[in-house]
A and B are shown apart, each in its own frame.
Chain A
Amino acid sequence: KAGVTQTPRYLIKTRGQQVTLSCSPISGHRSVSWYQQTPGQGLQFLFEYFSETQRNKGNFPGRFSGRQFSNSRSEMNVSTLELGDSALYLCASSLEQNNSPLHFGNGTRLTVT
């Protein structure tokens, strides 16, 4: 069974630009979550989607947005990039919300210069 796939693996962008990251969950998984990981803050929750609806949102500014498609694939977008947005962005999928573990992709490493 294929795992969670994230593309691209690496991105270099300039301040002020925008970026779109993509995530394909494990087949059959309908919940997709996004996390930002930095050395200083650890894993920070961005948002969670289920059946194309955003169900939960973390404490990030409105520049961070996402969506989920009918096939459960998800994208996240960051507009007006700042230097502090440099991080590893991780996507995770799960079967259901209550007690299933998250399964993570290998992330997209975003560098903002």
Chain B
Amino acid sequence: EDQVTQSPEALRLQEGESSSLNCSYTVSGLRGLFWYRQDPGKGPEFLFTLYSAGEEKEKERLKATLTKKESFLHITAPKPEDSATYLCAVRGSGGSYIPTFGRGTSLIVHP
């Protein structure tokens, strides 16, 4: 069974204070690791897909990296508008291909 654990559950940062969110996973044959951003009252918004260890993707102040056991979402010089819940999901090659989601990290960036 695929498993995803995200840490920390909640993170408070000051504007400009860089940090990283962690997504640890176990999966049978990784077919993709996905990062999403979710704002209150809205659906998750797709950010990145990573397919293999060593891969990196960037978008504005966000950078996602992947190893064989975990992924990091690095946030550089965050702004208040980066406040959201960040979700990680993995899709494995065994069984149904349905993504397994973590519980998310709630990020608040104070001005």
Contact = CB atoms under 8 A, between A and B. Distances in A.
A102 B91 CA distance: 11
Contact of A105 (B43, B97, B102, B104): B43
Interface centre among A56, A98, A99 (most CB of B within 10 A): A99
Main secondary structure of the interface of A (DSSP, over half): strand
A10 to B, nearest CB: 10
Query: What class of interface size applies to chain A in its complex with B?
Result: 20 to 34
Contacts, number: 51
A107 interface: yes
B98 A107 contact: no
B66 interface: no
| Residue from the set A43, A55, A58 with the largest chain B CB neighbour count within 10 Å | A43
B72 interface: no
A97 interface: yes
Please list the 3 inter-chain residue pairs (A to B) with the smallest Cβ-Cβ separation, ordered nearest first.
A104-B43, A43-B101, A42-B103
Interface of B: 31-32, 34, 36, 41-46, 49, 51, 87, 89, 91, 96-99, 101-104
Interface of A: 4, 6, 33, 42-43, 45, 48, 55-56, 58, 90, 92, 97-99, 101-107, 109
